[in-house]
Chain A
Amino acid sequence: MKHLLLKDLLLQKRSLGVLGIYVVVLAFVLPKLGRIHVVYGVSMIGSALLMFSATWEDLGNMLWNSMPVPKWKLVGAKYLAIFAYMGAAMALIFLFGLISVLFGTSLADVIVSFSHAWSGLLMLILIACMYWPAYFSLGPAAARYANIILYIILLYWLRSGHQYLILPVGVSPILLVAGVLLVLALSFIVSLHFYRRREF
């Protein structure tokens, strides 16, 4: 599975240019790096990465399904890649935060903002858990529509500034991790079920 992950990371290099544009757009949309902005930034960049990774599997599906690679590994690698995208999104937003320091934001504010990044990561996981079953069920073309719908929802949240995206304090971390893992597992099972029914 690590080779499938490696392939995804190699291919993401082509997304760097687009991500650069994303960061520039974020710089306009998020003039000050507050905690809610970190949440949005991490989830938006992360979800962009996972959607990019779906687009090139138009080619990959025929290839991998003709090779001795079980379908659970193909699906599993996409879920594993979520964590790599989380790291990449965090790194990019942190870089954006450091740049904002040059324009007057205090480093302390940036660091405090980052203490809320986990909400963005949770949001990214939830997006992935909705997106991958759509992709594995309908294929990349239809998943592009899911992509658009998810973006509209994200932009709506961004515009209305819903604070509830910052999850309530006091939720047991163990419960939270268990809940996330359960959602991931369920999403994986649904994706695998759909993918096994797909024809290429």
Chain B
Amino acid sequence: MESILELRNVVKNFTGFKINGISFSLEPGYIMGFIGANGSGKTTTIKLIMNLLHLEMGEIKVFGLDSRQHEQQIKQRIGFVYDDNHFYEELTITQMTKVLAPFYKKWDWNTYNRYIHRFGLPSNKKIKTFSRGMKMKYALAVALSHKAELLIMDEPTSGLDPIVRSEILDILSEVILDERCSVLFSSHITSDLDRIADYVTLIHNGTILFSTSKEELFEKYSLVKGERSLLGENLRPYLVGYRESQFGFEGLVTDKAAVQAMLNGNALLERPTLEDIMLYCTRGRAV
């Protein structure tokens, strides 16, 4: 099956920061969580995909098309939600949508009105009077109203209360039921992705550390907790990262079976959260 999004050896240089030849791909009908700490390169990568930044090296294909050569064609099929509001605050959402909608060939007013109604957004109030959650919901309504086949979301849930976050995640889960649509969802709130992501890509300092299915990730990694005396040379090759405290240690290990056999029931092995995996993969041995 052809990837809906494919990045190959993408390079972008800034002063003091570099997107370092990153590659990953997303298959149709899946949600990919794009995780990493603040400043790791998530937004830069998304901007490169959206052609908001110029690519220096490498290749980005969306729907199998070169992102630069077929920019307009591709953007007809992409819905986007960014972390900041990019709508004109002085306009009402009715005015804003009347300006935006004609640019999408497949704009569907029924779908739009359904989402506006569902989100309880007031049509005649200026966007500047909206809360952050309302602005985000409006952005989502616009992104979902032109039959987008790929949703690109940059930190859409950051700064939102748990109810709004949950609402947005529910919508995404519904959207993905239509298997034509895929989602690239960047976030540092990994609990959101624990819930909805099928694939996870971790970026750190402009480098992709892994891009794999969530199942494979949880099969590969385990969280180990035990006494500090267990932190011997035998365990270290399996440790991706660990943290010591006065009570013992906690760490992320690969090869659960081997570690289990080695520790012989003296340590606790648990399923990690995405946050654990992100934390230990990016920080290694924590202080």
Q: Write the residues of chain A forming the contact surface with B, with a CB cutoff of 8 angstroms.
A: 3-4, 6-7, 10-11, 13-14, 56, 59-60, 62-63, 65-70, 197, 199-200
Chain A, residue nearest B102 (CB): A3
Q: Is B100 an interface residue (CB 8 A)?
A: yes
Residues of B89-139 at the interface with A, using a CB-CB cut-off of 8 Å, are 89-91, 95, 98-100, 102-104
A66 touches B50 (CB 8 A): yes
Chain A, residue nearest B92 (CB): A10
Report how far A4 CA is from B103 CA in the complex, Å. Answer: 10
B103 touches A3 (CB 8 A): yes
B99 touches A59 (CB 8 A): no
5 contacts between A and B (CB under 8 A): A10-B90, A66-B50, A66-B75, A67-B103, A199-B47
Contacts of A10 in B (CB 8 A): 90-91, 95, 99
B87 touches A67 (CB 8 A): no
Contacts of A200 in B (CB 8 A): 47, 52-53
A65 touches B52 (CB 8 A): yes
A60 touches B88 (CB 8 A): yes
Contacts of A68 in B (CB 8 A): 72-73, 75-76, 103-104
Report how far A4 CA is from B102 CA in the complex, Å. Answer: 10
Contacts of B85 in A (CB 8 A): 59
Which residue in B73, B82, B98, B99 is a CB contact (below 8 Å) of A62?
A: B82
Contacts of B87 in A (CB 8 A): 59, 63
Q: B112 → chain A, closest Cβ, in Å? A: 15
Contacts of A3 in B (CB 8 A): 98-99, 102-103
A56 touches B88 (CB 8 A): yes
Report how far A66 CA is from B154 CA in the complex, Å. Answer: 13
A59 touches B86 (CB 8 A): yes
Q: Is B51 an interface residue (CB 8 A)?
A: yes
B86 touches A7 (CB 8 A): no
Contacts of B82 in A (CB 8 A): 62, 66
Q: B99 → chain A, closest Cβ, in Å? A: 4
A7 touches B53 (CB 8 A): no
Contacts of B76 in A (CB 8 A): 68
A11 touches B88 (CB 8 A): yes
Report how far A7 CA is from B51 CA in the complex, Å. Answer: 23
Q: Is B242 an interface residue (CB 8 A)?
A: no
Chain B, residue nearest A68 (CB): B75
Contacts of B100 in A (CB 8 A): 67
Q: Is B80 an interface residue (CB 8 A)?
A: yes
Chain A, residue nearest B73 (CB): A68
A14 touches B90 (CB 8 A): yes
